[in-house]
Amino acid sequence: MNKILISVVGPTAIGKTKLAIRLAQHYNTEIISADSRQFFKEMNIGTAVPSIDELNQAKHHFIQHKSITEQYTVGDYEREAIEKLAHLFKIHDVVIMVGGSGLYVNAVTDGLNTFPTVDPNIREELNTELSKKGIRVLQSKLKQLDPLYYEKVDIHNPQRVIRALEVAVGSGQPYSSFINKPKAKRDFKVLSVGIKADRPLIYDRINSRVDIMIDTGLLDEAKSVMPFKDYNALQTVGYKELFKYLDGEWTLDFAISEIKKNTRRFAKRQLTWFLRNEITKWVDYDYNAETLLPEIDNELLNLKNG
């Protein structure tokens, strides 16, 4: 239990990669990514994958190691990440984890919740309803059956909505009732470090990042993966909006505005998720590294002695 995982969290576009690299250099260690959008090698621009220069500054794992054509679940990630950490902790006392996908972060730090087995026909029926009636009907169902989870989940992600509904329908209990079970036992301690900023600044950074993505070729990237647009990996902000443009449903300007709006909504949900962890050490986005690093050193020392 003298091994420590520093988990760097926060909303999108806040600067998590920069801090993770700084910490990795400070502790002469490596980084594992917990950003589910960055796992896929075909998705580069739209997921803000670390640049080649950033990847060269510290060794990263779980970056573009899968194809969008592969089925890769949070359970798969938990198993592989724990195996990787077991190896890294043989070499390092401290390892860095960075990412804004709260479910994937929690899978590593606390373990996944156990859900009941449900009739697979339920999912099939829900998928049929989605294709015929659209996601709003499923959103309304979820709000009725599980209002607590409805407030937390990305209701624009059909896979997440259907997953919650199939558990609720199949078990007769809300999906949220199976969440927050006792934590899995880990043989390392966790220091959670969150990066924060005023919401207007976060939104400005998001808008600027989207503009940069468009300028650097996000539309061409969306075109290249268009044949796979129904795959789960591509049911994400930045791609699904451009698919609507490419399908002729939206103008390009409107698609870009929707990317910005949906990314802002995503950032809001990220903050809600990460703020639930009361022991997270929050730092301002414009932190002074020379001041922050000694503070992190002290946090690690207290954690080891605790």
Return the pLDDT at 112. Answer: 85
Give the 3-state secondary structure of residue 13.
Answer: coil
Return the pLDDT at 73. Answer: 87
Domains of the chain, with CATH numbers?
4-113+181-305 (3.40.50.300), 120-178 (1.10.20.140)
State the Cα–Cα distance between residues 33 and 55, nearest whole angstrom. 11
Return the pLDDT at 252. Answer: 98
Any binding-site annotation on 16?
yes
State the Cα–Cα distance between residues 22 and 18, nearest whole angstrom. 6
Q: Give CA angle at 209 (203, 211), nearest 5°.
A: 105
Q: Are 38 and 100 in contact (CB under 8 A)?
A: no
* Residues in the chain with pLDDT values less than 50: none
Any binding-site annotation on 147?
no
Return the pLDDT at 306. Answer: 75
Any binding-site annotation on 10?
yes
Return the pLDDT at 243. Answer: 98
Q: Are 10 and 16 in contact (CB under 8 A)?
A: yes
Sequence-distant (6+) residues with CB within 8 A of 286 are 197
Q: What is the sign, positive or negative, of the torsion defined by CA atoms of 99, 104, 107, 108?
A: negative
Return the pLDDT at 171. Answer: 87
Provide the percentage of residues in the chain whose pLDDT is more than 90: 80
Any binding-site annotation on 14?
yes
- Residue 157 C-beta-side C-alpha neighbours within 13 Å: 21
Return the pLDDT at 11. Answer: 97
Return the pLDDT at 117. Answer: 78
